[in-house]
């Protein structure tokens, strides 16, 4: 049996939504162990004048909790 947890994170990029997702997942996997997936909850852009200055994604990251006390 495994137990999972979800945590919400935001990530930004000046390039694209795809880049913001890649950066967010890369950062999450540096801190969290056993990441199994991510769901993109929101996408938004920040404008400067009439140009897109920044892409932002808010995602829910799922990871399996480590049970280091279990007997094998």
Q: Is the pLDDT of residue 71 over 90?
A: no
Q: Which of 9-13, 25-29, 68-72 has the lowest mean pLDDT?
A: 68-72
CA dist 58 → 3, 15, 37, 54, 67 (Å): 23, 16, 14, 13, 28
Q: How far is CA 4 from CA 39, 46, 52, 53, 71, in A?
A: 14, 33, 36, 35, 19
The phi, psi pair for 49, rounded to 5°, reads 70, -125
Q: What is the mean pLDDT of residues 30-57?
A: 97
Domains of the chain by residue range:
4-64
pTM: 0.84
Looking at domain 4-64, its CATH architecture is 2-Layer Sandwich (3.30)
The pLDDT tens digits for 52-67 are 999 999 999 999 998 7
* pLDDT over 80 (residue 72): no
Residue of 20 and 69 predicted with greater confidence: 20
Residues 57/28, Cβ–Cβ less than 8 Å: no
């Amino acid at each position: 049996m495994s137990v999972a947890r979800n945590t919400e994170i935001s990530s930004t990029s000046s390039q694209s939504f795809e880049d913001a997702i890649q950066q967010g997942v890369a950062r999450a996997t540096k801190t969290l162990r056993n990441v199994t997936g991510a769901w993109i909850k929101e996408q938004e852009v920040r404008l400067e004048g009439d140009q897109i200055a920044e892409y932002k994604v808010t995602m829910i990251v799922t990871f399996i909790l480590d049970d280091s006390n279990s007997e094998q």
